[in-house]
Amino acid sequence: MKETELTLGQKLSQIQFEFKANKGQFNSFAKYNFRSAEDILEALKPFNKKYEVYFTINETLINANPPIMQSVATIWDCQSSASIDCQSIVAIDLDQKGMAMPQRYGSASSYGKKYALGNLLLIDDTKDSDATNTHGNEPKKEFKAKPILSNGTELFKKAIEYLAGGGDMKIIETKYQFSEDVRKVLTETKISK
């Protein structure tokens, strides 16, 4: 059977079998290589001519809380206009530190495209550091309880001195745990100063 006589499903199967995309990007923070959506699309170009197909990616912003980016990767058959698509959805982290709002949406868009293409082409990223990277969200360390601040203790006396000298009550609250009675005494010390 010639390539021009293949169904779109057969063409996609061949492309999935033959497809290789290098991990052309490097994350210098976490020290690993990964492939981007652009790397995948660039590696697909030779298949467009060989199998008389083309690929598209469409995105839809879903108004949810948090917002969701839906990406749909589609392979189209130039001979029959048949198509096969796969999708991915990625939540947009609106609280991502270190990123401006356009970067947050762009990041979700890039991930969505990458994983929609990965679904369509059966790209296995289990060995990809990007699939296992914690992105700086290391497992939480063991909880360490704050010292208890009790009336009459040495810590309590130091807290009173600190506040009497113009110290900030918020600092005391972050360092110690204490009862409402102790809070009242500390607050009165701060107010009387």
Task: Return mean pLDDT, the chain.
Answer: 82
The DSSP call for residue 147 is P
Q: Decide if 148 is inside a domain.
A: no
Residue 144 resides in a domain = no
Query: Could you tell me which of 39, 112, 41 has the C-alpha nearest to residue 71?
Result: 112
Domain-located, residue 124: yes
pLDDT value of residue 82: 95
As a whole number of angstroms, the distance between CA 78 and CA 55 comes to: 10
What value does the mean pLDDT take over residues 134-146? 56
pLDDT recorded at residue 76 = 96
Question: Residue 120: what residue type?
Answer: L
Cα–Cα distance measured from residue 59 to residue 70, given in angstroms and rounded to the nearest whole number: 6
pLDDT at 190: 61
Q: Is the pLDDT of residue 49 over 80?
A: yes
Could you tell me the two tokens for 108?
Answer: 């979700």
Single-letter code of the amino acid located at 117: L
- Asked if the model's pLDDT at residue 134 lies above 80, the reply is no
pLDDT in tens, 107-117: 899 989 999 99
Residues 87 and 173 in one domain: no
Query: Is 10 among the domain residues?
Result: yes
pLDDT tens per residue across span 54-111:
999 999 999 988 999 999 999 999 999 899 999 999 999 888 888 888 898 988 999 8
DSSP 89-132: EEE--TT-TT--HHHHHHHHHHHHHHHHHHHHHT---TTSHHHH
Same domain, 7 and 100: yes
> Do 94 and 182 lie in a common domain?
no
What is the residue range of 22's domain?
3-132
The three-state secondary structure class of 82 is coil
Asked if the model's pLDDT at residue 132 lies above 50, the reply is no
Closest by CA position to 88, among listed 65, 112, 63: 112
Q: How many domains does the chain have?
A: 2
Does the pTM of the predicted model rise above 0.85?
Answer: no
Would you place residue 28 in the very low, low, confident or very high pLDDT band (cuts 50, 70, 90)? confident
pLDDT (0 to 100) of residue 25: 83
Q: What is the mean pLDDT of residues 147-173?
A: 79
Looking at this protein, which amino acid is placed at residue 126? Answer: T
Average pLDDT over residues 115-140: 66
Euclidean distance between CA atoms 45 and 136, whole angstroms: 34
Q: Is 75 inside a domain boundary?
A: yes
Q: Tell me the mean pLDDT in the region 11-28.
A: 87
